[in-house]
Structures are given as structure tokens and as C-alpha cells.
Amino acid sequence: MLSKRRYSLVAVFLAAISTFASNGTNQFLGAQSCASSSCHGGADTKSNQNLIWSQHDPHSKSFATLIAARSERIAESLNITNAAKSARCTVCHAPFATVPAELAATVLDPAEGVSCESCHGMAKTWLRSHTRKDFSRDDKVAAGMRDLRNLYNRANTCVACHQNVDVDILAAGHPELIFELDGQSVTEHKHWQEQTNWSGAQTWLVGQAVAAREVGWQLESTQNRVQKDRWLGVSWLVDNADAVVRSSSATLPNLSERGSKSACDEIAKQLVRVNWDQKLTRECLLRLAQTSAQFRDSKIDRHAQARRAERLVLGLDRLLLAANVKNQKANAAVDNLFKLVQSLPDFEPNQFADALDAFAKTLE
């Protein structure tokens, strides 16, 4: 069965449930409602969002993944007759397949994959008004559009399908997912412009805190070694980076609790309010680069260390880019760290610690 928690998270992801959903006034309209040339289906840069999504964004091809040979093999292992019609698969790859009839204003096509309303919210209540020049961002949000400029909202919109995979689905051959908001936002073919005060480092850390919350939940429902190690890895990373932010920011209070999924969620909410600058990015980068002693601690299980290293390397890569460090030696050192975490079963903590020291020296 599809886990209740996973289903509820994806329901938020696909429906962007707002106050309008509760009284039945909001509904899905489908991508065609945004696709006319006078709206988001035009050729110029101000109106080509639908074209970018349909032609370049992998989300528009997510349904097609379900009819590929690999998906057929995974479905067979799970005793699923047809992945393209199973809620366990369509809930992420074809969200419209699971929309209740009362929330559909028209016939919805699951083949759209992850389309406009999956991220921006059901459109009936805001479609006509959101193009008005006198409509502010707050007006649009009040009408039911999801505010994706808020990094906490953005992370919650994406994390359900980019982090959570049930254990039996993983065992059947589905790849393990690691949610990383900054890198995944940057590599996606953009149909939007980031706000002027956007920070890649802040985006990364908010995403990691939300990811930690989800891994913490999975550990509660699935008590196995892999989930425990994943939790120890991502929560360690969030605690270390968040401590830097709190020591440098007067706007954030000290946390009375750490090391729980609720604490990670609170961290993500609070980090959105930080006025992030390059100095803070560099401080986070240096703090994480100087954690080699923790990898030499023989009291910490090697598998947990491997998960720490896995998350750490991804973080160092994002922070190095965000700090705009143009240093060939630093980039080469990060590449070496990536190589050392490619095979987690073969991970050697002391070797990684030596490589981490080498990376830290390049930043001096």
C-alpha cells in the first residue's frame, strides 16, 4: 500500500491545498489553461513558460517514465500490473491520475506529468486575475496561488517526490533519491526568474532542513539501518550549518531542541527569514570544510559516516558555487571528495578526512 504519510505529502505537492480547497471553490484546469499564445504559450521570453516546460523540463516527461522498460521491471517486482495506472507510481509521475473528481473542472490528462498546477496550485480561483497589473504577489497568493518565492514553500512542494521513496519500491530497483533544492532548481530549465535577493546557499540549507524532516519521519515509520544512517547524515549536516547561521544572525533565536524532525522543520521555517549574504555563505563553507576530525572519530559507525560524507560533499559543492570561489585547486579537491563517496559500502572515513583537510587548505 501507498504509505499514508507519503500520500498526504504528495497531495500537498499536487493540490497546493489552500483555504479555497476547503470550501470547494478551487479546482484544477489542466496545463491547456496556461498554454495559449496570449498567456504562457507564446514565443517571446515574457510568455514562453509553457513552451519551456513542455519542451525542456523533465517534469513534463514524468508520465512517460512509467511506460519505460525499467518501470515495468520495478512494477513486476511489486506485483503491480501497470505502473502507469497504479497510484503508487502515478502519485508522483502523473499527479492528475489521483485528483478527486470534485477538484477537476475539466477532464485532466495524466500524461501531462508534473504540470503547472502541480507546483503553482489549483488555478480556477486565480487564473483570470493573476495577469492583472494591479495584482500584487500577496493578492495572487490570497487568491490561491502557491508562493514559490518562499523557499520553505518551494521545498515542501518538491520534497515529497524528490526525497521519499518507500522501502519496498527501493528494493524493487527504484533509485534512491536525495533532495537538494538548490542544485535541482539550478539544473532545471528555468521558466521563471529568481528574486533579486536569492541565495543559492540559503536555498540549499532550507532544502536540507526540509529533507532532514522527511528522513526523520521515514525513520519513525521504517526502522531499518539505512534510514537511521540517512537520518544521522542529514541531521548532522543541518545542525552544523545552522549553528553557523545562528552565531552570525541576530534575527534567529537559539534552539532549545535539536536532532528531531520537528526541530529540522522549525529550522527550515526560520532560515527563510535570514538576510543571507556572501559572508555567511563563506562562513558555512569554512565550518563544514573543517569537520575532518569528526570523520576520524572511531566511535561513529562507518555507515553513518558515509551518509554524512554523502550529504557534506553535495553541500560543499553548492556552497563553493554560491561563494563564487574561482579556485581550481578547490574544485579539484571537491571532485576528489565526490569520488570517495561514490561507493558508500566502500567508504573509508580516514581517507575522506584527509581529503577534506586538503580541501580546507585550498580555501585558506
Model confidence at 8, pLDDT cuts 50, 70, 90, reads very low
Chain centroid offset of residue 134 CA: 32
Mean pLDDT of 317-339: 94
Amino acid at site 272:
V
Chain centroid offset of residue 136 CA: 27
pLDDT over 90 at 21, yes or no: no
CA neighbor of 103 nearest in space, from 17, 3, 2, 13: 17
Q: How far is CA 176 from CA 4, 145, 183, 210, in A?
A: 20, 31, 17, 17
Query: Which residue shows C-alpha cell 519513525?
Result: 220
pLDDT over 80 at 11, yes or no: no
User: What rounded mean pLDDT belongs to the chain?
Assistant: 90
**pTM of the complete model:** 0.91
CB 212 within 8 A of CB 238: yes
**Residues whose CB falls within 8 Å of the CB of residue 189, separated by 6 or more in sequence, listed in order:** 52, 56, 57
- Residue 9's pLDDT is 47
CB 225 within 8 A of CB 171: no
Chain centroid offset of residue 38 CA: 32
More reliable by pLDDT, 170 or 18: 170
CB 363 within 8 A of CB 321: no
Tell me: the pLDDT tens digits for 292-307?
999 999 999 999 999 9
Element (H or E) spanning 328, and its range? helix 328-340
pLDDT over 60 at 181, yes or no: yes
Cα Rg for the chain, rounded, in angstroms? Answer: 21
Tell me: the pLDDT tens digits for 232-256?
999 999 999 999 999 887 677 777 6
- Residue 236's pLDDT is 96
- Residue 24's pLDDT is 52
Q: Using H for helix, E for strand and C for coil, what is the string for 167-235?
A: HHHHHCCCCCCCCCHHHHHHHCCCCCCCCCCCCHHHHHHHHHHHHHHHHHHHHHHCCCHHHHHHHHHHH
Domain ranges, ordered by start, for the chain: 1-147, 149-364
